Structure 1
Amino acid sequence: MPAWINHFCTASSLIAALWGAPVLAQDGGSASLTTGASYSSLRGGLAFVGLEADDLLGSGIDLSLGHQAGEDGGAFNARVSKTYALGDTALGTQTFVRVVLEGQTTDWTSQTYSMEHFGANVTVGAETNSGLRYDAQLFWQSDSLGNLGPSVSPLVPTGLDGSTAVGVGVGLGYSTFTSRGPLATGFDAHGSFLWATPAGDREWVAAEIGAQYNAQLPYGLVLAVQGDAGRIEGRGGDDVSIVDRAFIGNDAPRGFSYSGLGPRDYVLGGVDTALGGNSYLTASLELRTPTDNLAITLGAFVDAGALWDLDVTAGGASGMIDDSYSLRSAAGVAVYWDTSIGLLQLNVAKPIESRDYDKEEVVSLNLNFQF
């Protein structure tokens, strides 16, 4: 499935409570149940519950369920996957075939409309002797929009119900990282190309590239440099739909909420809709240092990002939409805490370059947990 848009809730929240209870799945495998509550500067109070199950009932099937609800609305996602490990083949080492079914629904008041997404894909991948990873996939997805609120832009389509995209994709990746964590060093590069064919309702081509380099410096310091860019274009006379456009923010660049920058139809006291963009880029430069507490790492960063280009800019509630290239930037500090339940990351960022209608996020607290 194209990774241009994150339908589910972002992790830009202040965690109020979090606890979990690991359990065993019948006939092998394991499962983890998590519950908790959080506060988001974008969505207010939020409670969530999730279930992750590996090798469900000894079937080799992995299952993921998640539900979030709060004063701003709610979201639900489900994912079922089955991976067939084929070992060394003519395609390379660690050859695999993976089948995935997924579904997501979101209905946030701050989003001004609800979204429903269903998808399926079959991926074949392997690794060469030189460490190059590659894969090819077939994908299908169906997307719908509903509950268009009074503050939604007239540029958001009202008749998007079960619109499909069907296509193929290829991906490449290479990494020298041998460990995880903020002080890990190495190089990683990846890229993908996706083509939504005329077999679906929406036809487009999209490409993404990204790279990360973490260099070891004297005194235990690590310099982390990261960049990503992507572009999507309609084909067959189709404009790129809002469900296929890119949205950035929250983690890249920090200092802005998710969908908080880029083209926006904004009227003070009325319409306020992020429209996404067909092109994006993000970059980050961060200097990290260990502390006397081995579980805590500190960082100072400068982030930048841009989101631009729409196929249709006329007809917005605010008039002509400004979809020009405009680089935003922010500077700040980060705290990484490797807790017993996962890595907690606190970011405090101050935008340097921004627009008046951008949604800034000075403080964000993200927790990636595993039990």
Structure 2
Amino acid sequence: MSLVFAVEEGPRVYIERIEIRGNTRTRDWVIRREFDLAEGDAYNRVLIDRAERRLRNLGYFKDVKITTEPGTAPDRVILVVQVDDQPTGDFSISGGYSTSDGFIGEVAISEKNFLGRGQYVRLAGTLGQNTQGVDFSFTEPYFLDYRVAAGFDLYYKVTSATSSSPYDTTTGGGTLRVALPLTDELTLGLRYSLYQKEITIDADTIADYGTPSWALREVSGVASITSSVGYTLTYNMLDNNIDPTNGYLLELKQDFAGLGGDVDYIKSTFDSRFYFPVYGDVVLMFRGQAGNITSWGGDDLRILDNFFKGPDIVRGFASNGIGPRDLASGLDGSDPDALGGTLYWGTSAELQFPLTFLPKDIGMKAAVFADAGSLWGYEGGTTFQNVSGWQDNLVNCDAIAGSKTKGYANVCVADSDSIRSSVGVSLIWKSPFGPLRFDYAWALTKEDYDQTQAFRFSGGTKF
């Protein structure tokens, strides 16, 4: 049997007008600018589907549907864009708890469709036993009527000493940024950052947490300015940016510090997420991430510029709970101080599934996960001759189990690239107060000097 397809070109159809319905809050022009065609252009289903996908990914609408109606002539159609505005403001809280640091939390209010103009505004305050701060962000997604997102961030943060970070930290600065869409999936972000960071160690800190590492004391009280430029390449193939169930997201970041300021480094990070629908509402997610930082100006990296990692790569560990530590700072019985590292990697696998014994309208689901990763590569000094009285503070690092430092020094570094891993369970609830998430993790493999934290939570609400 032969099958023959006969294709005949029909008359060209043009868009007579674009009607937008259902937008009680979002301005018409915010919707129209997502189209690559206008009234009078030839009808193109590919461009219409692209516009519909863009509108859905904005997150402004509960639903988006684009249909056609007959126009005033046979070769004319009316394009009908039916949308349903939804709340786009967020009031969120997030936090965690550890037996050593107590409660930490953040309160933030944001609006991603400010006054129906599509602008993003965020104001956040960090409140906790040890952290206070404020930051403000603004983004215009169509700068100068081009599909270029431009914005700025301002922030100021004061962190009190804790067992994981035995020093007070003050950071203040800002960032200018633009995002250029190279294709619908590929975006290039450019930024310039200028900020000042200072740590201080006083007598109260020493009394509460023991004598800090000399690597920290050497930079205490020295306010340093960082001036850097950077870029981000993002390739987004997710089916939904807010609650993805299929697709993947790849992100490469690099920052170059040394355009003025006091520090010189090149920092590179990579993050990837993959989502696979398994069956029904069951979704499998894989994540991989890695990073490296190196000095290019000939000077050693400052300890403050190193990576400090914990539950962001392996859940079940405390903040700054993974990576190189100064074992000499723990000889007085306190926890050894984190020194940070120059290299890290992390992988995660998570299976999310609905709780079938509960009504679906409750919006509750569970997850099981497994994480693995590592942080290593301390490249800072171990003997600091410019520290007053340093000769009297040398210790025999050879006598301290686990130290990589040889002979007598101020700092005895424990630095291992061994795999840290954990498994855990999560409860995820789209509650009336917003999304809530509770994680409980068990550390499977770790170094003796690592610090663990089993429970974490986060949550928020929308308005």
Identity of aligned residues (%): 24
Task: From 292, 297, 312, give the equivalent of 2:365.
Answer: 297
What is residue 131 of structure 2 aligned with on the other side?
Answer: 74
Amino acid at match of 1:312: G
1:79 maps to a residue whose letter is F
Tell me the distance in 1 between the aligned counterparts of 2:132 and 2:189. Answer: 30
**CA positional deviation for 1:305:** 1.2
Provide the residue aligned with 1:153 in structure 2.
213
1:43 aligned partner, one-letter code: D
In terms of Rg, which structure is larger?
2
Deviation string, structure 1 residues 61-110 (Cα, Å, up to 9, x no partner): 8351414133xx33222224353623764xxxx31221222221111333
Change (3 A) 1:185 1:160: farther
Q: Which has the higher helix share?
A: 2
Is the CA contact 2:438–2:456 (under 8 Å) kept in the aligned structure 1?
yes
Matched with 1:26 is: none
User: Partner amino acid for 2:225?
Assistant: T
Instruction: State the match for 1:360 in structure 2.
Output: 452
Distance in structure 1 (CA, Å) of the matches to 2:243 and 2:120:
31
RMSD across aligned C-alpha pairs, in angstroms?
3.0
Unaligned runs of 5+ in 2: 1-86, 384-393, 398-410
String of CA shifts for 1:18-54, please: whole Å, max 9, x gaps.
xxxxxxxxxxx99877789974434224576555577
Q: In the alignment, which of 194, 212, 218 is matched to residue 279 of structure 2?
A: 218
Structure 1 SS opposite 2:239: coil
CA deviation profile, 1:262-308 (whole Å, cap 9, x unmatched): 11124151363111111111100122222223312222211011000
Aligned match of 1:124 in 135, 155, 178? 178
Aligned partners of 1:334 and 1:30: how far apart in 2?
26
Note closer, same or farther for the CA distance 1:244–1:370 as it changes in structure 2 (3 Å cut). Answer: farther
Q: 2:346 aligns with which of 274, 282, 289?
A: 282
What is the CA–CA distance in structure 1 between the aligned matches of 2:338 and 2:238, rounded to whole Å? 36
Q: 1:212 to 1:362 in 2, by over 3 A?
A: same
5 Å matches for 1:240-279?
Answer: 240-266=301-327, 267-268=330-331, 269-270=333-334, 272-279=336-343
State the alpha-carbon separation in 2 of the partners of residues 290 and 30 from structure 1: 25
Do structure 1's residue 308 and structure 2's residue 369 form an aligned pair?
no
Post-superposition shift, 1:232?
Answer: 0.5
1:101 is aligned to 2:193: no
SS at match of 1:344: strand
In the TM superposition, residue 138 of structure 1 has moved relative to its aligned partner by 1.6
Question: Closer, same or farther in 2 for the Cα pair 1:87/1:223, shift >3 Å?
Answer: farther
Tell me which amino acid in the other structure corresponds to 2:320: S
SS state of the match for residue 304, structure 2? coil
| Equivalent pair of 2:139/2:149 in contact (CA under 8 Å) | no
Q: 1:244 to 1:119 in 2, by over 3 A?
A: same
The 10-residue stretch of structure 1 (29-38 or 181-190) with the greater mean CA deviation from structure 2: 29-38
Instruction: Measure how far apart 1:351 and its partner are.
Output: 1.0
AA aligned opposite 1:303? D
Q: 1:344 to 1:34 in 2, by over 3 A?
A: closer
Change (3 A) 1:243 1:105: same
Question: Structure 2 length as normaliser, TM-score?
Answer: 0.65
Q: Which residue of 2 aligns with 1:206?
A: 267
On the 8 A contact 1:313/1:321 being kept in 2, the answer is no
Cα pair distance change 1:124/1:272, threshold 3 Å: same
Partner Cα separation in structure 2 for residue 303 and residue 195 of structure 1: 30
**1:12 counterpart residue number:** none
CA pair 367-245 structure 1, distance change in 2 beyond 3 A: same
